[in-house]
Amino acid sequence: MRILAGKKISKRFGGVVALNQIDFEIYSNEIVGLIGPNGAGKTTLFNIISGLYQPTSGKIYFEDNDITGLSPHKICRLGITRTFQIVKPFLNMSVLENVKVGFLFGRERIKSLIQAEKEALKIIEFLGLREKQHFLAHALTIADRKRLEIARALATKPKVLLLDEVLAGLNPTEILQAMSLIEAISKELKVTIFMVEHVIKAIVGLSNRVIVLHYGEKIAEGTVDEISNNSKVIEAYLGKELQTS
């Protein structure tokens, strides 16, 4: 079932065309990768989906309802949540307190602080942060801050999770751990994932489909095998054919 779609999405900043007539469809329980070189328009598309930017033209649909122009908090309450490239937790609040905030403002808002804490602890456990639940966010490693960013997003009870370069800055071991976590979010929590990522190993290992942007244009879409052998993608981004097995 289609859960999220964009129709003819364009975005201009003055004379700069950041996105040009982009169409996409995301289906329930998929993991879809969004790749392309820096400046391709990936984060701009996420900003439009999440309501931070308004498209110059085009429409965004969530569960077949037009959500174009809605504010970020309304889109979040409908069930679309995102992470950011640069994580910005409440640095002087604990891990537990950071996650509790999401429950107070998300899709299934919890008014009871006791219930919010109970639910937050479940997510903290799932993310492997239980032993650090009382750590202040500023004391966390980069890898743990990334986990906290995901935990805060999951606290809003999303149906669709937009992950924007969540693996950036992680070492190879941390990348593998994060990949396992993303897979678990998809399979165990039944959250649909749309992810911008430059770590090709993650795109290959996780994605059901991949969408490729280049200078604001969608140049390809398909399975990992199809994308890895696409001459336009190789020329624009990969530089060589991917080894997918």
- In this structure, the answer to whether residues 140 and 212 fall within a common structural domain is no
Instruction: Please report the pLDDT score of residue 239 as a whole number.
Output: 65
* Amino acid in position 244: T
Mutual orientation of helices 95-105 and 113-126 as an angle, nearest 10°? Answer: 120
- In this structure, the answer to whether residues 62 and 167 fall within a common structural domain is yes
- In this structure, the answer to whether residues 184 and 131 fall within a common structural domain is no
Looking at the 3D structure of the chain, how many domains does it have? 2
Q: Which residues contact 243 (CB under 8 A, 6 or more apart)?
A: none
Q: Is the pLDDT of residue 115 over 90?
A: no
Instruction: Please report the pLDDT score of residue 78 as a whole number.
Output: 94
Element (H, E) at 203: helix 200-206
Q: Which two tokens stand for residue 114?
A: 């006791």
- In this structure, the answer to whether residues 219 and 205 fall within a common structural domain is yes
Domain closes at, from 122, 157, 192:
157
CA 100 to CA 86: how far, in whole Å?
20
- In this structure, the answer to whether residues 89 and 147 fall within a common structural domain is yes
Angle, CA of 245, 29 and 186, to the nearest 5°: 70
- In this structure, the answer to whether residues 53 and 163 fall within a common structural domain is yes
- In this structure, the answer to whether residues 149 and 191 fall within a common structural domain is no
More confident residue, 187 or 104: 187
Pairing of strands 192-196, 31-35: parallel
Residue-wise pLDDT for 213-236, tens only, equals 999 999 999 999 999 888 888 887
Instruction: Please report the pLDDT score of residue 86 as a whole number.
Output: 85
- In this structure, the answer to whether residues 58 and 173 fall within a common structural domain is yes
- In this structure, the answer to whether residues 165 and 143 fall within a common structural domain is no
Domain closes at, from 136, 157, 178:
157
For the beta carbon of residue 28, count every other beta carbon within 10 angstroms.
14
CATH of the domain at 204: 3.40.50.300
Q: Is the pLDDT of residue 132 over 70?
A: yes
- In this structure, the answer to whether residues 59 and 175 fall within a common structural domain is yes
The pTM of the whole model exceeds 0.85: yes
- Hey, which bits of 43-159 come out as E strands? 57-62, 65-66, 80-82
CA 98 to CA 120: how far, in whole Å?
9
Q: What is the number of residues in the chain?
A: 245
- In this structure, the answer to whether residues 148 and 163 fall within a common structural domain is no
Label residue 81 exposed, middle or buried (CB < 10 Å: 0-12, 13-18, 19+).
buried
- In this structure, the answer to whether residues 175 and 65 fall within a common structural domain is yes
Range of the domain at 166: 1-71+159-245
Domain closes at, from 100, 132, 157:
157
Instruction: Please report the pLDDT score of residue 46 as a whole number.
Output: 97
Contact 8, 59 (CB under 8 A): yes
Residue-wise pLDDT for 191-209, tens only, equals 999 999 999 999 999 999 9
